[in-house]
A and B are shown apart, each in its own frame.
Chain A
């Protein structure tokens, strides 16, 4: 499979434009970009997919992440265990792995295997929602700042500089000390303290894109700023956004787990992996290894997997950038 040459791509773009495949304005602007190929897009995706699939570790990582998500959210339908009634579990405290408790029980007597799913649900949910918030805020802020430019841009970016110079964990704790912690508050706090780096990255992209030929073409034909941002700048930053969101997901799950480990995560009766690791490590000295190894292993491989996927994604999109 070969990537179409510039000439072919241009021809295809023009042909598609004539067949009325897109609004004439956008098609023409894309044609002006000369590599913005409408039919070539499909091939480009195939090619990027091939680059990703050729990275065996990344594929394994993706499989692992999907498996963990299924384990946490579908697992409880097949594996029933008591995770909320502390008065019933009190007789099973700190049991080693045995029949009925394949991975033993924790300091409250809850079954560890079920606990992994139960804690994983909140860790993944909160991590995902927080990452989405930080992505939306970061992309919006960065693209707006870069597109507008001038003194507004300078002002907005100085704010990002200020926030980035505060060590992240301290900022998190400062916000938690103010607002307290509940599930919703943790999502908001994690989401609204994690977007500064993303904003800086996306601002750079927006600056690079706002004066490209296709944006100028839209402007020349009377298209407004909203159209340029929404139809032309944002679609062109999809690759950055996907890479950023992978790392954001890993980052927010990691931050949440760190908080849980510090005893500042989701309050009981709910729990997260960080709290499991903390209480497990307290009990490790009295020999409860089963409270530490499974959750640490599961979590560590998850974080490494996210990093691999992020790296592979960057490689994958670099192919596209190179071809452009």
Chain B
């Protein structure tokens, strides 16, 4: 039963990924021959345009193009950059150093926002309608409507330019390995304090609201009443009986907050001048380096889909009801 559920869920994830890869193939082909014009500039001759299309296989029929695209994709080939600075370098080589930087930024901030929102939501749920509850609800509503770039800007103005507590930007990374961003964070926590705060706050809004609702819902369940009736202390009822059941649904929401976090990371990287995927996407969009932008979009979506998959599998392991009925 459990294997069946995982199998279904993984197949679903693969389906979404195939769909996304189809979109990253389809969108550029919507431009048709115009892509040659973008790459070669407005003064290119007709002959040069034709040669470009032919050498990139863009004059083939649609289904053959898609076949080649998918074949390359399975070989890890995402195409070649059209940016004059990195002309004809493979997309993977261009984007690889940028991936782990954004990934760690998102993972660490997701960790922080999960812990913080579970704690806040828990206390809100217990002390319902108290001053704490109302003020937190208001504060979170406010933070929730704060756009990422405005929040970063405010934190820079207050903590960096006025109070001089933290530097307004991050040093350029020197190493490109998968764990080097983590090492850099560990060595220079001050530089990462503001960007991580921005991303953490971005995630807190929805999670806290959800955790508060979840704990309120759990506290009126029969098994909680039973625990109270048999004489458990309020703390034991809360942490042994209610807490674990209330936290579980939050895990599913974690995966859903990933797209917004990656979008937030894009803006935060730009503001703090951190060369992650977001920076590269903006730079590549500016020079209209379509293959790199598509490669980045594909990568960020793969991360999102995998995140959701892990969240669902994690919760299915923790909660047998889900894998038995196959429903969330």
Please report A residues at the B interface, Cβ cutoff 8 Å. Answer: 158-159, 161-171, 173-180, 254, 257-258, 261-264, 277, 281, 284-285, 292, 296, 299-300, 303-304, 307
Contact = CB atoms under 8 A, between A and B. Distances in A.
Contacts of A169: 262-263, 266-267
8 contacts: A164-B259, A167-B259, A170-B266, A170-B300, A174-B293, A178-B31, A292-B153, A304-B142
A296 B150 contact: yes
Which of A176, A177, A179, A262 is the most central at the interface, judged by chain B CB atoms within 10 Å of its CB?
A177
Contacts, number: 123
Given A162-B20, A170-B296, A258 B147 contact: yes
B27 A174 contact: yes
Which of A174, A299, A300 is the most central at the interface, judged by chain B CB atoms within 10 Å of its CB?
A174
A178 B28 contact: yes
A277 B28 CA distance: 31
By secondary structure, the B interface counts as helix
Contacts of B270: 261-262
Contacts of B154: 296
Contacts of B147: 254, 257-258, 300, 303
Contacts of B267: 169, 258, 261-262
Interface string B1-32: 00000000000000110011001100110110
Nearest to B288: A177
B96 interface: no
Interface residues of B, number: 49
Contacts of A261: 149, 267, 270
B38 to A, nearest CB: 8
Interface in B145-169: 145-150, 153-154, 156-157, 161
B27 A264 contact: no
B19 A168 contact: no
Contacts of A158: 15-16, 19
A277 B153 CA distance: 9
Contact of A175 (B20, B27, B266): B27
B252 to A, nearest CB: 15
Contact of B145 (A165, A281, A296, A304): A304
Interface stretch (B55-63, B116-124, B212-220, B278-286): B278-286
Contact of B308 (A165, A166, A176, A263): A165
A292 B263 contact: no
Nearest to A278: B149
Contacts of A170: 262-263, 266, 281, 296-297, 300-301
Which of A165, A263, A281, A304 is the most central at the interface, judged by chain B CB atoms within 10 Å of its CB?
A165
A104 B132 CA distance: 41
A188 B156 CA distance: 34
B194 to A, nearest CB: 14
Contact of A300 (B146, B157, B282): B146
Contacts of B200: none
A176 B301 contact: no
Contact of B157 (A167, A174, A177, A292): A292
Interface in B70-110: none
